[in-house]
Amino acid sequence: MITIQGFAKLCGCNTQTLRYYDRIGLLAPAKVDQWTGYRYYEEEQAMLFVKIKNLQMADFSIGEIKTLLNEDEDHLMAAFDRKIEEQKQKLEQMENIRKSYLDEAMNMQRMVNTIIDFVEGRMSSPELWQEFGLDQEKDTEISARVHELLAEWMEQCKNAGADMAQYMDTMQEMVEKLKNGTLDEEQRKMLLSDEDDLEKDIPEGAEKIFARDGWTHVSDWIGEIPAPEKGKESFFLFSVPRDSLIVDPGFPTLMLAVMGARYNTQEGGMTCKVGLSKDGLNHFSLLQK
């Protein structure tokens, strides 16, 4: 027999490692002196140590090592082969992750740039903020809500497989065509609903709880809108003239940001739709379901 210090030198490890192996049930001393507590090993146990060390280095779990300690060399080699295949699969997965990383990073950058471009290009319009009686520089909570809404919206579109940058460019092009009168009817319906179609996708049974007609600016009455009932979805419906500022693609987002910040809505959900009015006047309805 050999002391724990001598056995550690033989195995090329320290005594703490041997005590750890003993504690977890992998390699117990051949003898422990009942009076002194000294640990003694048989030299032949060095082969068991080699097996344990190499299985650990090969990423076998403690449970797997305990099982393999009693197996012959053929079973041990077969276990190594299986572990090699597992590591190959992990390596292949890592390669795939590495390849997809750049694509995902580029797509995320495009999404971030699209949000920034939209906010700076459309949501920074002083006239749009003035429509609500707001100051973009001072109403930082509204600005934060705008970014949050756009991020959520883009995530939904991303999950649906939509190309956000292309979509935003198309929307902007249609707005310009609408303003200069070159938008065809099919494109117009993609951008704006007719007044009669505004409620087409509203759930049956939705109740109109607030309405205003013939107004000039949203700021004239927005403070009168009642707080949404908890758990109910709100539908903000606008029908306006063709040349109204409200046909701007940024308007629905800003409207939802204003309402979300004002009432801190967390449940139920909100939708804002804009359509063309028949009489050339401004109309608004709030429905809830």
Name the residue ranges covered by the structural domains of the chain. 2-70, 109-288
Quote the pLDDT of residue 13. Answer: 94
Q: What is the pLDDT of residue 81?
A: 93
More confident call, 220 vs 134: 220
Q: Please tell me which of 60-69, 130-139, 165-174 the model is most confident about, judged by mean pLDDT.
A: 60-69
pLDDT at 48 over 90: yes
Note the pLDDT of residue 101: 83
Domain spanning 2-70 has what CATH number? 1.10.1660.10
With cut-offs at 50, 70 and 90, classify the pLDDT of residue 159: low
CB 263 within 8 A of CB 222: no
pLDDT bracket for residue 190 (50, 70, 90): low
Distances (CA, A) of 122 to 163, 247, 283: 19, 12, 23
Would you say the pTM of this structure is higher than 0.85? no
Helix (DSSP H) and strand (DSSP E) numbers for the chain: 10, 8
Q: Which of 72-76, 92-96, 97-101 has the least mean pLDDT?
A: 97-101
**Rounded (10°) CA dihedral 280, 118, 144, 219:** -20
pLDDT at 278 over 60: yes
What pLDDT, on a 0 to 100 scale, did the predictor assign at position 99?
A: 83
